[in-house]
Chains A and B, each alone.
Chain A
Amino acid sequence: DAKTTQPTSMDCAEGRAANLPCNHSTISGNEYVYWYRQIHSQGPQYIIHGLKNNETNEMASLIITEDRKSSTLILPHATLRDTAVYYCIVRVAYAGNNRKLIWGLGTSLAVNP
């Protein structure tokens, strides 16, 4: 099963870009990279996902390296409300139609004023 490695914690100044790295060196060719975040005492919230190409939405950008062994989530202008635990997840495919996400411990991002 592909696994991910993320730094335990990071800091970012309010208004600056937050760049959260993730290593997934054993990722398979048909596995997607997902990012979720969890604000304290709330359920996880989907941010973005991608396969090969870089992706952007209203929340963030996802940069995936050409070899797909790592990726970076970019929050272009971090706010205090972006303080949360960020999970980088690789979707694991089972034989047949069973699939699930493997969650690690994530990166605790603190956005400071």
Chain B
Amino acid sequence: DAGVIQSPRHEVTEMGQEVTLRCKPISGHNSLFWYRQTMMRGLELLIYFNNNVPIDDSGMPEDRFSAKMPNASFSTLKIQPSEPRDSAVYFCASSFGDYMNTEAFFGQGTRLTVV
């Protein structure tokens, strides 16, 4: 298995533009997570899907952020409009079954720079 696949690996965009980050979880996994990592705040969970349904989106910063999971093999995280403070590394992770007792597999991340 190729693991969790994220695209793009790097994204540079201008303030105000729309940004879409993509994630393909590991086949057979039914939980998917989007994280954001910055030097100041460390790793923060943005949203958690289980069986394609958003379960916990309390970490989504504001209305400019939205996430979708139209099927078990694909998810997107969209930022519109983007701002310089959104610059961070965004990770997608997936796991199987109950997240409490199973490990999460992380992708390589998307490094987003908003100028």
Contacts and interface: CB of A to CB of B under 8 A. Distances in A.
Interface of A: 32, 42-46, 49, 87, 91, 93-94, 97-101, 103-106
Contacts of B105: 46
Interface of B: 4, 42-45, 48, 55-56, 59, 91, 93, 99-101, 103-109
B115 to A, nearest CB: 21
A64 to B, nearest CB: 16
A101 B63 CA distance: 23
A44 B106 contact: yes
Contacts of B48: 98, 100
Query: What DSSP secondary structure best describes chain A's contact surface?
Result: loop
Contacts of B107: 43
Contact of A46 (B55, B59, B103): B103
A43 B42 contact: no
Contacts of A32: 100-101
A43 B106 contact: yes
A35 to B, nearest CB: 10
